[in-house]
Structure 1
Amino acid sequence: MNGIILASGFSKRMGKNKLLMNIGDELIIEKVIRTIKKCNISNIILVGREEEIINIGINEGIKTIKNNFAINGQSESIKLGLKEVDLNHNYMFFCGDQPFIDKESVNKLIKVSAENSKNIIIPKFKDKTGSPIIFPISLKKELESLNGDMGGREVIKNNKDKIKYVGINNSLFLQDIDTIKEYEEFIKVIKR
């Protein structure tokens, strides 16, 4: 499995780079990377914009790519990540701002993908879906043709017949952090 971490955003709603904020004794991006490193992923690629994030990826020993065209939207990160993939494995896209992903849930998604390698694998908790999403090798060209801020959702919309939802038991798994208020709420949850 290829794991591509999208970490080139501008954190506009947060007002500062949320990936460099702390969750416990780690930065959000460190927590995401370290969790992914524990999973059944043979090729991890970090696509980042800021030097500090690039350096974290290098220090964590994963492939790291600088996105000099992040202003063009999420599609640039997707395309850059796809240039570094192992062509024999599907692509699992992670958002850099999801510090509550866990090894068991990620590995469950990977296992389902191995059994359904031509499907798009989407995690689901109750009626909510989100990332990380696994795309099959067959959709690489569609992913590479994305433009602007179109993320993988556009490819999903065009391939509804390939979707397979996978139930996740971790209620926080799908949560990302976009605002200071969300960040403060999650910090309270962690301290309990």
Structure 2
Amino acid sequence: MTKHSSTESSLAILLLAAGASSRMRGGDKLLEDVDGVPLLRKLAGHACAVCDTVLVCLRDFDEARRSVLSGMHSQQVVVPDATNGMAHSLRAGIAQLPEHISGVMVVPADMPELSEQDLRTMIAVHEALPNAILRATSADSQPGHPVLFPSNLFGELRALSGDVGARGVLKRHADAVRLIALPERHALTDLDTPEAWQAWRQACPK
């Protein structure tokens, strides 16, 4: 069993996996094969490897996504109003966090290039700067995900609504944001269409 430091144990990871994959024309981007496993399971595995408290936001009818999480030590959070936008997943996940949590790393579940080391990088900076908002960027400084929020902002995150996520929170607290560069385009790559998946696989042969 992986050992975590006390700081890692007081951090939570919130994996956002309640989107509809509406641009996949009947497919599900979170079930696409990446390194031999469904993308959702891969990212949940990275999260579970570095953090004791992992919550996965899911639609209440999504048995396919539930099934790929079987056997993992993650907590599934049902988001009954997920169709209303990302903010509703954030709100539902934050509401389920244990009281002792010092911060939450928000990880969209559709980012196939994010690695376990990327998550560890974010955690290490949180350990050094526990009151900062940490936002991952590409190697050339374009802001992306994950974003790590300290616990003093949980109240604002619980009050979110609509499909803009936490943009307003980031804007209101811009002075607290610290940008964390991850390799290449790890913090930016998300794939929403079959054509995007095909192009990505052709560009990144395994």
Please confirm whether the aligned pair reaches a TM-score higher than 0.5, indicating the same fold: yes
**Higher mean C-alpha displacement, 157-166 vs 59-68:** 59-68
List runs of 5+ in structure 2 lacking aligned partners.
1-10
Contact 1:102 1:173 in 2 (8 A): no
List runs of 5+ in structure 1 lacking aligned partners.
none
Contact 2:137 2:187 in 1 (8 A): no
Q: Encode CA deviations 1:39-68: one digit per residue, 9 max, x unaligned.
A: 2x1200011111221233343231112222
Superposed, which structure 2 residues align to 1:7-46 within 5 Å?
7-15=17-25, 16-39=27-50, 41-46=51-56
CA distance in structure 2 between the aligned counterparts of 1:188 and 1:34, rounded to whole angstroms: 25
Contact 2:110 2:190 in 1 (8 A): yes
How many corresponding residue pairs?
A: 191
Pick from 96, 117, 125 the counterpart of residue 109 of structure 2: 96
Superposed, which structure 2 residues align to 1:1-192 within 5 Å?
1-15=11-25, 16-39=27-50, 41-49=51-59, 50-88=62-100, 89-125=102-138, 126-192=140-206
CA distance in structure 1 between the aligned counterparts of 2:187 and 2:78, rounded to whole angstroms: 27
Task: State the identity as a percent.
Answer: 22
Contact 1:101 1:174 in 2 (8 A): no
Contact 1:57 1:63 in 2 (8 A): no
Displacement of 1:173 after TM fit?
Answer: 4.0
CA distance in structure 2 between the aligned counterparts of 1:172 and 1:22, rounded to whole angstroms: 17
CA distance in structure 1 between the aligned counterparts of 2:22 and 2:119, rounded to whole angstroms: 28
CA distance in structure 1 between the aligned counterparts of 2:169 and 2:188, rounded to whole angstroms: 19
Displacement of 1:14 after TM fit?
Answer: 2.1
CA distance in structure 2 between the aligned counterparts of 1:177 and 1:65, rounded to whole angstroms: 23
TM-score, with length taken from structure 2: 0.86
CA distance in structure 1 between the aligned counterparts of 2:203 and 2:43, rounded to whole angstroms: 18
Contact 1:177 1:183 in 2 (8 A): yes
Q: Encode CA deviations 1:110-136: one digit per residue, 9 max, x unaligned.
A: 111121111110111213111110001
CA distance in structure 2 between the aligned counterparts of 1:38 and 1:189, rounded to whole angstroms: 28
What SS does structure 2 have at the residue aligned with 1:186? helix
Contact 2:88 2:161 in 1 (8 A): yes
